[in-house]
Structure 1
């Protein structure tokens, strides 16, 4: 996965359409039960408002660092004004957003105490958007899609997302090769026909089928049925703690969720939609997008309320998992720069690591103890042959890399095509480069590069009696004598 692409996220603009609403929170303390009825008394401490529904998708997109164009229609009322003010604060392009006196802005009010929800009050009137607004968007469709890289349709089944409006936007997006990502609701899915990605959860899948899916084989059958019924390219079925099941033409692939302390799952689906819509235009594959969506969702569910995931939080989560350990040199440059900006000490070491043994493990652990993050460069098969002769390596580069990626003390791995690490160090600029003490008083090719930017070399003790050459010689002695 080329994580370097994420750097370009600020060039992405997502068009968002759907049901917009306000999430209102009344937070307080509960110290007694009411004498009037067996209910808790909440002493109000704070009142807050946030964008909800399609607005929470926007919160997530902006949090990642991308731009947003918003279309939809809200009421000419206090809560509608709040939504417009929030758009203005976030520099949302709302030139084609509608306000209508006949529309009532939806509000969901949650009464909470100590991060627990006691009650939710909904103020809503489910209505289709005014025909005048549909006609307005239809007449200005080219301008609406100008500069757009992806389209999100966030359906909360409140009336805005009808078949006519959906198909108008989907057909236009398809004609421009713009991906369409839809978060669906209800039982009428024909309105989503032709979308790129549909992201229902299990309950929404059951609602569509109008029966509860039981068992894994039934889930597979249901997933393929929904994909075919809607004529979509991908079905990304979100399954809570089980992660995401991706259905594409003829295949199903499962992407487990990351283990996290779950505080509140509110808005996790919006985060998945936002991450796919924001990262897909950067060229990530759907399997990679599912992995990244799981990463972002793991951040959101660890927070209270309809939360978001920032780009920095996504990168930090990627640092905590081995899923992305093997990286390119370009990606390594970006990651090291980000780590150093956060005050982290980056340690680097390199080698062939053929027939990994106790000496290698000792050197990795020692190197990691010198800083916060350890990057290991592994010589390619070609560079090993150049350094050690045509009979080496014993273990090919793919298998050597796989084994090193499994080590907890190793954070990132780079394949090194050169015979020495000068080029890698010149590009990523680690704080420390680690060599065995047998290199002391020898010509170390990378030393001048390190010193040029303030880096340093640390010579560490060798694990006595352990080397790949000794192991090979012992194997030859033992098995050679049996021939």
Structure 2
């Protein structure tokens, strides 16, 4: 599956929807206004982010896919900023137009200590300009050129009408391009023919007119809507309950991943972006739902409308297996993600045959140099190459299991080479740890480590403890 996920870098996602600008005014509050019983915000900083469909785009870009945006903005300062911000992200904005009689929707949030206490919206809700719809029809081949998957991001601000939605869906389906819809409002007939629709619980209650208080009610209503609206699949996002997927002939639940929730803003955008990108890579919908839950757990642990990087997703995939043994390919994503968070990575390697106190001492010393300890263990083949046909005593399968059982070890990778140069070159750990017995010897990996700015540390060995000495003692006795 890792190989499939990596194809994200090769796909282009077409996105249409309500484009917005989110402004943040941050500061501190220490007094109440003498003019009215309201807090006074002493402003410390201001910044803007892409909102609405723009946040979906940010998530797609963060995951590593290419984006082609279609839609419109106001010919105003906020519209200029949004188009420039998209261009700077590498988004294809050649089909994104600006109109004098449109106003770019802007939401300004006042926050203090990561708490929002006021939001001011500047918007005029009206249908998409007829000129833009006509423009879309004239350029329909350009819209889908080079595209693998499409998203319709409806925020109920007027961009997604029945005409615009049906044009995108029908033309995409003609070209065998799947369409994901993040819906809004009571009228889902405009999404007819879509591949996947991703309402949350409030949205599906609104469109169905039902309270949906039980699992049975949700299942009956969801399947009924899927059939009546002629939408291939419903993926209902349910906060802490995860995602319920309605497919032809089956309904499946995918529980949420437990994590500290700081802010759920934009989680729905992350889910639809993740699912669309992964589905565009050829991953089936059920796996898409599982991975979307992982993605949502990450963004909900961040403040504001956050995004998810491909490195973070790969790290979550590895951690979700609840086992420390990972491939080198997956370890690379994990290390990159941890480095983005400021973690210091420590690496060591060895055969670790007949695990003993000396090994444990070396791991504990190594861990003191950083935050995360990655251990490369020699394969059976490489142990024989280095130490002779009688070794290893313990097979690689069990040596890996023992290392994974140690709390001090964070991740384990298998090393089939005779030295760790390839692994170190790939992972580029901050610190590489070797025993003191290597300090004055030729160390093949030293040049590689120092070449990328890392360093080699040498640790004390614990007395005469070694697997070789233990084997000699057993034989002599």
Task: Indicate how the Cα distance of structure 1 residues 113 and 234 shifts in structure 2: closer, same or farther if over 3 A, else same.
Answer: same
Question: Which residue of structure 1 aligns with residue 252 of structure 2?
Answer: 252
- What does the per-residue CA deviation read over 1:336-366, in whole Å, with 9 as the maximum and x for residues that have no partner? 5776797733424466989x99999888667
1:56, distance to aligned residue in structure 2 (A): 1.9
TM-score by length of structure 2 reads: 0.74
1:154, distance to aligned residue in structure 2 (A): 0.6
Question: Which residue of structure 2 aligns with residue 474 of structure 1?
Answer: none
Question: Which residue of structure 1 aligns with residue 214 of structure 2?
Answer: 215
Cα distance in structure 2, aligned partners of 1:205 and 1:167: 20
Question: Which residue of structure 1 aligns with residue 94 of structure 2?
Answer: 95
- What does the per-residue CA deviation read over 1:427-447, in whole Å, with 9 as the maximum and x for residues that have no partner? 66767888999x99xxxxxx7
Task: Indicate how the Cα distance of structure 1 residues 79 and 423 shifts in structure 2: closer, same or farther if over 3 A, else same.
Answer: closer
Cα distance in structure 2, aligned partners of 1:143 and 1:183: 23
Question: Which residue of structure 2 aligns with residue 412 of structure 1?
Answer: 411
Cα distance in structure 1, aligned partners of 2:401 and 2:246: 27
After superposition, where does 1:60-79 map in structure 2 within 5 Å? Answer: 60-79=59-78
TM-score by length of structure 1 reads: 0.73
Question: Which residue of structure 2 aligns with residue 129 of structure 1?
Answer: 128
After superposition, where does 1:163-242 map in structure 2 within 5 Å? Answer: 163-242=162-241
Question: Which residue of structure 2 aligns with residue 150 of structure 1?
Answer: 149
1:157, distance to aligned residue in structure 2 (A): 1.5
Question: Which residue of structure 1 aligns with residue 292 of structure 2?
Answer: 293
Consecutive unaligned residues in structure 2, runs of 5 or more: 471-477
1:96, distance to aligned residue in structure 2 (A): 1.6
8 Å CA contact retained: 2:21, 2:48:
yes
Cα distance in structure 2, aligned partners of 1:193 and 1:149: 20
Cα distance in structure 2, aligned partners of 1:395 and 1:280: 39
Cα distance in structure 2, aligned partners of 1:253 and 1:400: 37
Cα distance in structure 1, aligned partners of 2:350 and 2:220: 48
Aligned residue for 1:95, secondary structure, equals: strand
- What does the per-residue CA deviation read over 1:290-333, in whole Å, with 9 as the maximum and x for residues that have no partner? 44434443443344333334455556666766558443343335
After superposition, where does 1:344-383 map in structure 2 within 5 Å? Answer: 344-349=344-349, 368=367, 371-375=370-374
1:17, distance to aligned residue in structure 2 (A): 0.4
Consecutive unaligned residues in structure 1, runs of 5 or more: 441-446, 471-483
- What does the per-residue CA deviation read over 1:357-406, in whole Å, with 9 as the maximum and x for residues that have no partner? 999988866765565434456788999999999xx999995x99788667
Cα distance in structure 2, aligned partners of 1:47 and 1:359: 54
Cα distance in structure 1, aligned partners of 2:373 and 2:153: 41
Task: Indicate how the Cα distance of structure 1 residues 283 and 412 shifts in structure 2: closer, same or farther if over 3 A, else same.
Answer: farther
Aligned residue for 2:92, secondary structure, equals: coil
Question: Which residue of structure 2 aligns with residue 42 of structure 1?
Answer: 40
Aligned residue for 1:237, secondary structure, equals: strand
After superposition, where does 1:361-440 map in structure 2 within 5 Å? Answer: 368=367, 371-375=370-374, 408-414=407-413
8 Å CA contact retained: 1:268, 1:300:
yes
Question: Which residue of structure 2 aligns with residue 54 of structure 1?
Answer: 53
Aligned residue for 2:95, secondary structure, equals: coil
- What does the per-residue CA deviation read over 1:227-275, in whole Å, with 9 as the maximum and x for residues that have no partner? 444444543332223333444442413132341241x322221122223
1:107, distance to aligned residue in structure 2 (A): 2.8
Task: Indicate how the Cα distance of structure 1 residues 462 and 143 shifts in structure 2: closer, same or farther if over 3 A, else same.
Answer: same
Q: Once superposed, what is the RMSD of the aligned Cα atoms?
A: 4.8
Question: Which residue of structure 2 aligns with residue 266 of structure 1?
Answer: 265
8 Å CA contact retained: 1:4, 1:331:
no
Cα distance in structure 2, aligned partners of 1:247 and 1:86: 36
1:102, distance to aligned residue in structure 2 (A): 3.8
Task: Indicate how the Cα distance of structure 1 residues 64 and 333 shifts in structure 2: closer, same or farther if over 3 A, else same.
Answer: closer
Cα distance in structure 2, aligned partners of 1:273 and 1:118: 28
Aligned residue for 1:72, secondary structure, equals: strand
Task: Indicate how the Cα distance of structure 1 residues 248 and 345 shifts in structure 2: closer, same or farther if over 3 A, else same.
Answer: same
Task: Indicate how the Cα distance of structure 1 residues 48 and 372 shifts in structure 2: closer, same or farther if over 3 A, else same.
Answer: closer
Cα distance in structure 2, aligned partners of 1:127 and 1:26: 27
Task: Indicate how the Cα distance of structure 1 residues 465 and 24 shifts in structure 2: closer, same or farther if over 3 A, else same.
Answer: closer
Task: Indicate how the Cα distance of structure 1 residues 407 and 276 shifts in structure 2: closer, same or farther if over 3 A, else same.
Answer: farther
Matched, 1:86 2:89: no
Cα distance in structure 1, aligned partners of 2:77 and 2:426: 54
8 Å CA contact retained: 2:75, 2:99:
yes
Cα distance in structure 1, aligned partners of 2:170 and 2:3: 31
1:40, distance to aligned residue in structure 2 (A): 0.6
